[in-house]
Amino acid sequence: MNAPFFKFDMFSFDISLVVAFIIGIGFGFALERGGFGSARILASQFYFTDMRVLKVMFSAIVTAMLGVFFFVAFGWLDLSLVYYTDTNMIPQVVGGLILGVGFVVGGYCPGTSCVAAVTGRIDGALYLIGVMAGIFIFGELFPLIENFYSSTDMGRVFLPDYLGMSYGMVVLLVVLMAVGAFAAAEWGERKMAAKKSGVVK
Amino acid sequence: MKLLNFILGLDVKIKLAAIAIFLGLTAFIISDPFDNAHAKINVKELALIVQNEVDHVNVDELADWIIKSKTDYRLVDIRTEKEFNEYNIPGSENIPITSLFDGQLARNEKIILYSEGGIHSAQAWFLLKAKDFRNVYMLRGGLEEWKDKILFPKLGVNASDDENARFEIASAISRYFGGTPQIVSGNEITVSVEIPKVAPKIQTPTGSAAGTAKKKKREGC
């Protein structure tokens, strides 16, 4: 048995939708339990008063990265069959900035807005409508921005190849970066809390 | 004992961070998770496949697929580039046996291997199977049989009607691939065998490494 199961025809396309549904539910549940259904918690990340988003994201990245690395090393996962988007540097930087602005203004990112909406938050539902409208407008305008959309195409790029390092080296660096970010976040939170209590006094 | 107590007494997040750093260091030592040079094989399973001969494709089957423009497989010529350029079966791509694991083939593809005879492709088949490629087949008899049966089918002078009828079909296939059907008289073999120039112009939708493969799975988010 070897992953990715779908690519090895372990189940059909129809079943894959069921699998995706189950994984999606799990993902949403984890987001909700992490507190990501609340725009207040999400937005406070940008004011550095609550670093929960950073911690959850980095935990997820490090867990997934270590899992993939060792699964590949053990021969359980064929990474060449896993789908990756190509890198289009400039359009993706611009897209990231737009998403970031939307995140700060709306208080959600697309995934967390779904979580907020299904837990009954009105702002989440409105955000979701906005996401749909954005998708529609993007689709309608696509012919106009198609050239830009596919510009600076770098193909399928991986950090180790791009930086000329080994995969293990990049894994270690990301782990250290995450641990460092965690420590800094905890330190920052204590500072902020002290400042706040000082103001109250 | 003291150390153990100290470790157990640590905060959960410190423990998790320590585990992550430990795994990160291990990854650093492993350095490259893709080991393309070694394999572990299930000899029993492979022996069974060999015995049941489920790993072969006959030349006439292959000719039929090419004529019908089937695209659910990749036809791989494992000979050297020079040999490939002299002649190759239409729709094939050249991946010399030493480059099989350079990432051009995916484990979920249907792969048909051929070489001059049958030996090299059988060896390549074994290597790919050992590396967990699922659908690998080899062309029975290799290019020699392809030339013999498809490009230059032969008919004896005193052939029966039945043989004649079959020869008609074989001739049509042979001409399709740019070959010449031969009529052999007695023991004399005075046939002029001319190998068609590189890949006769036949429209086969196969081509680049990425394009062929089987029906692409839907993917992306």
Q: List, for residues A98-134, the tens digit of each pLDDT value.
A: 999 988 888 898 889 999 999 999 999 999 999 999 9
Asked whether residue B212 carries a pLDDT value surpassing 50, the answer given is: no
Q: Give the pLDDT band (50/70/90) at residue A4.
A: confident
**pLDDT at position A180, please?**
93
- A153: which strand partners? A88
**pLDDT at position B202, please?**
45
- Domains of chain B and CATH, by start: 43-146 (3.40.250.10), 152-184 (no CATH)
Q: How far apart are CA B171 and CA B106, in angstroms?
A: 36
Helix axis angle, B161-176 relative to B59-67, nearest 10°? Answer: 50
CB pairs under 8 A between A and B: 80
Residue B154 backbone dihedrals phi, psi, to 5 degrees: -120, 150
Asked whether residue B43 carries a pLDDT value surpassing 80, the answer given is: yes
Q: Give the pLDDT band (50/70/90) at residue B132.
A: confident
- Please tell me the distance in Å from B18's CA to the nearest CA on chain A: 9
- Nearest alpha carbon to residue B60 among B153, B160, B199: B153
> What are the residues whose beta carbons fall under 8 Å from the beta carbon of A8, sequence distance 6 or more?
A2, A81, B107, B108, B134
Q: Give the pLDDT band (50/70/90) at residue B182.
A: confident
State the greatest distance between any 2 C-alpha atoms of chain A, in Å, as a whole number. 65
Strand B182-184, strand B154-156: pairing: parallel
The answer to whether A3 and A74 have CB atoms below 8 angstroms apart is no
Does residue B132 belong to the interface with chain A, where contact is any CB pair within 8 Å? Answer: yes
Averaged confidence pLDDT in chain A: 88
* pTM, full prediction: 0.73
Tokens (6 digits) for A18 = 């069921």
Mind listing the pLDDT tens digit for each residue in A148-177?
998 888 888 888 888 888 899 999 999 999
Does residue B219 belong to the interface with chain A, where contact is any CB pair within 8 Å? Answer: yes
Residue type, A13: F
Asked whether residue A20 carries a pLDDT value surpassing 60, the answer given is: yes
Please report, for chain A, the start and end positions of each structural domain, with discontinuous segments joined by +: 13-200
The answer to whether B181 and B175 have CB atoms below 8 angstroms apart is yes
Averaged confidence pLDDT in chain B: 80
Q: How far apart are the first and last CA of chain B?
A: 51
- B94: which strand partners? B77
Sheet containing B135-139: give its strands across.
Answer: B56-57, B135-139, B110-114, B74-77, B92-94
Q: Residues of A with CB below 8 A from B13's CB?
A: 182
Chain-centroid distance of CA A162 in Å reads 21
Nearest CA in chain A to B15: A179
Q: Please give the helix or strand (H or E) that residue A88 lies within, else none.
A: strand A87-88
Average of per-residue pLDDT across B15-34: 89
Torsion-angle region of residue A165: left (phi > 0), alpha (psi -120 to 50) or beta? Answer: beta
Does residue B186 belong to the interface with chain A, where contact is any CB pair within 8 Å? Answer: no
Nearest CA in chain A to B39: A75
Chain-centroid distance of CA B133 in Å reads 10
Instruction: Tell me which of B185 and A73 has the higher pLDDT.
Output: A73
Question: What is the percent of chain B with per-residue pLDDT over 70, rounded to a whole number?
Answer: 83
Local structure of A1: helix, strand or coil: coil
Asked whether residue B213 carries a pLDDT value surpassing 80, the answer given is: no
